[in-house]
Amino acid sequence: MSTPSELYRNAIDLNRFSNSVAKRIAVTYNDLILDAVDQLRGIDELAAPAKAARLRAILAQLKESLDGWAGTSTLAVVEDLQGLAELQSEFVANELRRALPIDMRRQINSVRISPQFAQSVATVDPTAINVVSLSDDLLAAVAGSPQTFQLTATQGTAITLPNGKVLNKSFRGLAEAQAELFSKTVRNGLLTGESTDQIARRLKGRLQFGDLGPLSVRQLAQAGGELTAVANHQVNALVRTSINQVASATSQQVYKANQDVTKKYRYVATLDSRTSPICRALDGQEFDYGKGPTPPQHFNCRSTTVPVIDYKGLGIEPPPPSQLRRPNTAFGPSRSTRGDSVPDNQTYGEWLDKQNKATKQDVLGKSKVPYFNRLVDKFGPTDAIRKFVSADGSELTLEQLKLRYPNE
């Protein structure tokens, strides 16, 4: 059982798409903050009553602006998610067709995305709906003639962010929190004798209006102050995670609609040092549809899933190993070894076992590397990395590892 390489590269394209969407949303947010901070200038010279009135007016305007930003951001991301779902559905179905001989490609079923799908992902309270998936009678018909199934708005409501919220509530919560932080920071600064210039620097950091275009969202966060640094990270996380949710859910539905071709899916993590413990452990594991974990497992999750093509069951030869490869990192070729790719069945543990000492320390921490090496010797690299994670997905401490495996 193997998977076409293009399905692995899809995660790279999603990463780039996430960056572009997040940048557009973040730039609008930073514009509003910089404008509010700029309005603080000159209020030091005002008398106390006039100063208080001016601050109230600035705060009221900021609250209104941020509330509008939350609404328009949700609508903009919904539009992007809808387009993504439609493209992802078509892409996955086409890749399944490409995995088969020409005379068998017509049997691949398609999944049509309903116009309300992304809207439901972003706006419907997940506790208020009855989640459904492709019905059993439709799945029973998969082995017959090709069909087009529906990914409906009702199914879309199953998709929520890792904190249990939907997108519009997350954006509105962020807007409310930032307006309150602005008010508190200005009020506390004035009470402690800071000038408005000092307060402005704390709020915006090194950001200037001219910076917003050239900088990435990560760079905006690094240059930002109390009101921009964390918010830019949160915008990036909301957008990236929502895109992963929709892409993952759409792909799963296409896989499910074609279970005569693929009966399992494989969890695929990113092969680099930033991958989370839970995703490192899940990487390479195969699950029946509807019975295993799917990305995102956490905010900023970069993992994906790929279908495991049942070439043997279909009675056809799989592609040669040279065509069954996965990228070495989330960015395609490795930054240190450009052009690299690895076999499609190589797990995170096997990848890590081949890395140098510095990379292993970056992933696990210096004190755990010798322990990882000993576990590799006894259990192999794939099982070794999975033993670093508890049942709830959290990473075990060194002391917990020693208690769990005292003889290692």
pLDDT tens-digit series, residues 167-220: 888 899 999 999 999 999 998 998 898 888 899 889 988 888 777 778 888 888
Tell me what pLDDT residue 160 has: 60
pLDDT tens-digit series, residues 62-106: 999 999 999 999 889 989 988 998 999 999 999 899 888 999 988
CA atoms within 13 Å, Cβ hemisphere of 11: 26
Over range 271-282, report the average pLDDT.
Answer: 93
CA separation for the pair 174, 22 (Å, rounded): 14
Model confidence at 249: pLDDT above 50: yes
Q: Of the ranges 67-76, 123-132, 293-302, which is most confident?
A: 67-76
Contact between 154 and 113 under an 8 Å Cβ cutoff? The reply is: no
Tell me what pLDDT residue 51 has: 85
Q: What is the DSSP string of 40-86?
A: TTTGGGS-HHHHHHHHHHHHHHHHHHHHHHHHHHHHHHHHHHHHHHH
β-strands 325-327, 262-268 pairing: unpaired
Tell me what pLDDT residue 32 has: 93
Q: What percent of the chain has pLDDT over 90?
A: 37
Tell me what pLDDT residue 157 has: 44
Tell me what pLDDT residue 322 has: 61
Tell me what pLDDT residue 66 has: 96
Contact between 164 and 126 under an 8 Å Cβ cutoff? The reply is: yes
pLDDT tens-digit series, residues 38-55: 988 778 788 888 888 998
CA separation for the pair 381, 14 (Å, rounded): 28
User: What beta strand segments (E) does 187-319 contain?
Assistant: 262-268, 286-288, 304-309
Over range 280-295, report the average pLDDT.
Answer: 91
CA atoms within 13 Å, Cβ hemisphere of 166: 21
Residue of 217, 343, 327 lying closest to 272 (CA atoms): 327
CA separation for the pair 340, 118 (Å, rounded): 36
Model confidence at 394: pLDDT above 50: yes
Model confidence at 156: pLDDT above 60: no
Over range 124-144, report the average pLDDT.
Answer: 40
This prediction's pTM = 0.83
pLDDT-derived band of residue 359, with 50, 70 and 90 as boundaries?
Answer: very high
Tell me what pLDDT residue 223 has: 84
Supply 379's token pair.
Answer: 């259990």
